[in-house]
């Protein structure tokens, strides 16, 4: 296309409204640019109220940063609902345990159930074993498959 055809196509009567609006927008832009360039804040007086405001703002920023760190730590412990919830419980370490395995749980059970603690603990273990066996055999899909705060 020749340059004169291109310019006549853009400056035709169909585009007059566009160019009028463009001129208004550019005028507004130039006016505000000049106004902002005249506004100089380099010699602004810093009052005690302004200092207190800045100090309070810094405190808020620090609190927000601490809150975000806490939320990040919580987020690291989330378990997506579509993953095996028992998988993280079996993490092992090379260090020997400090106390006999199950001693604390046995003491809690004894405190809660008295003489029948051993029987109840055996029933819980049997139920957990049955559940784990069925999970291994059938490998169920956890529902719903959306992240939950667990």
Tokens of 135: 């999970």
Q: Is residue 57 part of a domain?
A: no
Q: Is residue 44 part of a domain?
A: no
pLDDT in tens, 127-140: 999 999 998 999 88
pLDDT in tens, 9-21: 677 777 888 889 9
Look up the domain containing 133 and give its range.
105-139
Q: Could you read off the pLDDT tens digit of each residue along the chain, which spans 150 residues?
A: 555 555 666 777 778 888 899 999 999 999 988 887 776 666 678 889 989 999 999 999 999 999 999 998 888 877 666 666 655 555 566 777 788 888 888 899 999 999 999 999 999 999 999 999 998 999 887 776 666 665
Q: Is residue 129 part of a domain?
A: yes
Q: Is residue 55 part of a domain?
A: no
What confidence score (pLDDT) does residue 82 get? 64
Total domains in the fold of the chain: 1
Q: Is residue 119 part of a domain?
A: yes
Q: Shortest CA distance to 84 belongs to which of 141, 127, 138?
A: 141
Q: Shortest CA distance to 121 belongs to which of 133, 138, 104, 134?
A: 104
Helix, coil or strand: residue 81: coil
Place of tokens 């601490």: 66
**How far, in Å, CA of 5 to CA of 23, rounded?**
23
Q: Is residue 131 part of a domain?
A: yes
Q: Is residue 65 part of a domain?
A: no
Q: Is residue 132 part of a domain?
A: yes
């Amino acid at each position: 296309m020749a340059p004169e055809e291109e310019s006549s196509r853009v400056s035709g009567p169909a585009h007059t409204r566009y160019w009028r609006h463009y001129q208004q927008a550019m005028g507004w832009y130039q006016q505000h640019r000049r106004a902002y360039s005249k506004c100089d804040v380099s010699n602004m007086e810093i009052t005690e109220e302004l200092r207190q405001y800045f100090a309070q703002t810094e405190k808020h920023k620090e609190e927000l940063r601490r809150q975000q760190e806490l939320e990040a730590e919580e987020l690291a412990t989330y378990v997506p609902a579509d993953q095996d919830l028992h998988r993280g419980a079996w993490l092992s370490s090379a260090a020997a345990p400090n106390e006999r395995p199950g001693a604390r749980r046995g003491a809690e059970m004894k405190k809660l159930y008295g003489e029948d603690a051993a029987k109840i603990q055996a029933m819980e273990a049997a139920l957990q074993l049955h559940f784990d066996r069925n999970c291994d055999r059938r490998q169920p899909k956890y529902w719903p498959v959306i992240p939950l705060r667990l």
